[in-house]
Amino acid sequence: MPTASTCGWPTTRLRMDSLRVYSTGNEPLLVHGTVDFARPDQIAVDMSLAATNYELINARRQTGAVAYGRAYVDCNARLRGTLDNMRLMGNVKVLSATDLTYVLTDSPLSADDPLAGLVEFVDFTDTVRIEAPTERPRPQNINIFMGLQIEDAAQLHCLLSADGTNYVDLEGGGDLTMTYSPERDLQLNGRYTVTSGTLKYTMMVIPLREFVIHSGSYVEFRGPVMNPYLSLSATERVTTTITQNDKPRSVAFDVGMDISQTLDNMGLEFTIEAPEDMTVQNELASMSTEQRGRVAVTMLATGMYITDSGSLTSGGLSTQNALNAFLQSQISNITSKALKTIDLSMGVEQGTSATGATTTDYSFRFAKRFWGNRISVIVGGRVSTGEDATNTGQSLIDNVSIEYRLDKSATRYVTVFYDKDRESLLDGEVMEMGAALVLRRKSNRLGELFLFKSR
C-alpha cells in the first residue's frame, strides 16, 4: 500500500510498496516506486511494473467496437521521468490463453459490395445513432520501448467485413519490438509466424471460400503498424470430375492464393495444384503463372477444371458442378452468419466412382475450442449419394479428434483420434484409432530437435 515518510518537514515524496492494481482478472499488477512532488510543475515518477498472467483485456463484442476478446500477459517494465517527459521500457509476453478479435474497418481485402451505399435513405430526425465527436488528449512527450513476445498458442482473429462472414483466424507467435515517440508515432518491428490458421473470403466473382493457411506463413512488421509485409499462403481442397480418353475420374485440387508485399500495396496470386494426379499436375506445370491463375479462379468460381488449351484432361462445362459450387457458397454464408462462435463448414462435391458412376458427397466439419483454447475438438463426416454409394449407419461421422495442450508454449499435445476415411495401397479403406503424444519444436538445424534442455 502507499506509504509516506513521517518527519518534521512537509512530505514531498509518495512511496509505493507492492501496490496491487486489479483489472477484470484475479492476478494483480504490482507497482513499486515513488512519485516526487518536490516541484509541482515537474512531478517525477519512478515505478517498476510487474505482473504474471494478468488479464489485460476482457471485453465483449459491442456495436461499433473495433476490438474485443481476452488478452493475458506477463509484464516487467519500468516507468521513469516527469509527467510531460515519460519513458517506458520493459518486456511484455502475450500468453497462450489470449483470444482477441480485431475488426478491420478499412482494408484492401474488403469484401463488401462496391455498389453498396450508392443510394441511401436517411431519417435526419433519428438521433439514436448520432454520437458527439470526442477529442482525446495527446501526450506531450512520451517514449516507449517494449519487447513484445507472443506465445505460439495465442489466438488472433481479424474480421474483414462488418458482419463477420469474411475473416482471418491465426494461431502463432513471434518476437517483436514496439516503440513510440511523438516524432515517429507507434512503430513495430519483428515477425509473427503462423502455426495454423483459416481464411474465409469472398470476392465479386468467387463465392465464399474457406482456405487453410499454411504453417510457416508470416506477417513481418518493418515500422508502421498498419502497413506490415505479408507472406501468406492458403489453399482449399476442391474435388471435381475430369474426362480423359472418354473416361471420367475424380481429381483433388489444392486451389488457393499467395498474398505478398505490404498491406497498402498487396500482391495477390492464385495458385492451383493436383498433388495426387501426376497427369494433371504436369499439365499445370507446363502453364504460365497467368494461365494457372485463370484456371484457379475458374475453379474457385464454378468448381470446374477448365483450361485454355482444351486438352482431354479438361473437365469442361458442367451444370452440376456449377450448381454444387453455388450451393456450397450459400451454405457457408448461412452457417457463418448463424454460428459465429462455432467453426462449422459444409461442402458439396461431385465425383466419379471406379465403375464410372456419378456420386455426390455431402461433407461437414465441426470444430470448437474450450478452456482457454487448451482443448480442441474436431468432428467431421461425409455422406455419399449415387448408384455406387455405400453408406451405413456408422458412416455419418468419419473422423473425431480431441487435442489437449500440455504446456503454455504450445509444444506438447496429447491427441485422441478416430479416423475412418483412410486409404491404403494394400488394404484399401482402413480405420485408425488411438492416442498420440505430439511434440512441436522450431529449429534451424536437425540436431536442435533433440535438445530438450533450455539454454
Q: In tens digits, what is the pLDDT along the chain, a chain of 455 residues? A: 444 444 444 568 888 888 898 888 788 899 999 988 888 888 889 999 999 989 888 888 877 777 888 889 999 999 999 888 889 999 999 988 888 888 876 655 554 455 555 566 666 665 555 555 555 555 467 889 999 999 888 888 888 777 777 888 888 888 999 998 887 788 999 999 998 888 887 776 677 778 889 988 998 999 888 888 989 899 988 877 777 776 777 788 899 889 888 888 888 888 999 888 888 888 888 888 888 888 888 888 777 787 766 544 444 445 555 555 555 555 555 545 544 555 666 666 665 555 656 666 777 777 777 776 778 888 877 777 666 555 544 456 778 888 888 876 677 888 888 877 655 555 556 778 888 888 777 666 777 666 656 55
Supply the pLDDT for residue 426. Answer: 59
Supply the pLDDT for residue 352. Answer: 59
Alpha-carbon gap, residue 330 to 338, rounded angstroms: 12
Alpha-carbon gap, residue 100 to 169, rounded angstroms: 10
Residue 167, judged by CB atoms within 10 A of its CB (0-12, 13-18, 19+), counts as: buried
Supply the pLDDT for residue 428. Answer: 59
Alpha-carbon gap, residue 336 to 159, rounded angstroms: 12
β 428-439/167-181 pair status: unpaired
Backbone φ and ψ for 288, nearest 5 degrees, come out as: -80, 170
Q: Which residue has the cell 473495433?
A: 66
Please give the radius of gyration of the chain, using alpha carbons only, rounded to the nearest integer. 28
Contact 244, 269 (CB under 8 A): no
Give the DSSP H or E segment for 49.
Answer: strand 44-59
Q: Which three cell numbers stand for residue 174?
A: 513471434
Single pTM value for the model: 0.68
| 3-state secondary structure at position 297 | helix
Alpha-carbon gap, residue 230 to 170, rounded angstroms: 13
Supply the pLDDT for residue 393. Answer: 45
Alpha-carbon gap, residue 407 to 438, rounded angstroms: 12
Alpha-carbon gap, residue 442 to 427, rounded angstroms: 35
Q: Which three cell numbers stand for residue 18?
A: 507492492
What amino acid is encoded at 354 in this protein? A
Enter the DSSP assignment of 262. B
Q: Which three cell numbers stand for residue 427?
A: 488394404
Enter the DSSP assignment of 357. -
Give me the numbers of helices (H) and strands (E) for the chain, helices first please: 3, 21
Question: Phi/psi class of residue 333: alpha, beta or left (left: φ > 0; alpha: ψ in -120 to 50)?
Answer: alpha
β 218-224/209-213 pair status: unpaired
Alpha-carbon gap, residue 342 to 340, rounded angstroms: 6
What amino acid is encoded at 183 in this protein? E
β 85-94/247-261 pair status: unpaired
Q: Which three cell numbers stand for residue 337?
A: 452468419
Nearest to 198 by CA among 227, 163, 235: 235
What are the beta bridge partners of residue 306? Answer: none
Planar angle of CA 88, 92, 93, nearest 5 degrees: 175
Alpha-carbon gap, residue 317 to 315, rounded angstroms: 7
Supply the pLDDT for residue 58. Answer: 87
Sequence-distant (6+) residues with CB within 8 A of 17 are 1, 3, 32
What amino acid is encoded at 1 in this protein? M
Contact 426, 420 (CB under 8 A): no
Q: Which three cell numbers stand for residue 311?
A: 486438352
